[in-house]
Amino acid sequence: MSGTDNTAYKILTGEQMNQLLADGVFAGAPIDIADGYIHLSTAAQVRETLDKHFAGQTCLHLAAINLTMLGDNVKWEVSRGGALFPHVYTALPLAAVTAHLPVSYDGAGTLVLPS
């Protein structure tokens, strides 16, 4: 994935999704706050992120994020396996969320992404 991709995904708990919808902004999960940026994944990375960091958790949601709306607050940085991941260095505004849905898989076991 390159730094020119326009959409990335944030994995949220049900409580975090409700907070984003109610407040219109999301300051980040505890790991985001500790690291100083909000972790996002590309479409190609989000399944592995779910499996690695959210295994066994229920009531998870995926939010599609328009990276263009976040401008210079998005940095593509090397992370897991040397891949570039989008990191957001500001609170995530609801206005940048283009779609969201509960984490689900189709009949073939493929993760369903919000479009």
Give me the domain span that covers residue 30.
7-102
pLDDT for position 81: 85
In a domain? residue 110: no
Query: What is the number of domains present in the chain?
Result: 1
Residue 76 sits at φ, ψ, to 5 deg, of -90, 115
Q: What is the mean pLDDT of residues 47-72?
A: 95
In a domain? residue 113: no
In a domain? residue 109: no
CA 62/CA 32 separation, integer angstroms: 16
- The per-residue b/e assignment along 82-107, b for 16 or more CB within 10 angstroms, e otherwise, is eebbbbbebebeeebbeebeebeeee
pLDDT in tens, 13-28: 999 999 999 999 999 9
Residue 66 sits in a domain of what CATH number? 3.20.170.20
pLDDT in tens, 61-105: 999 999 999 999 999 999 878 889 999 999 999 999 999 999 999
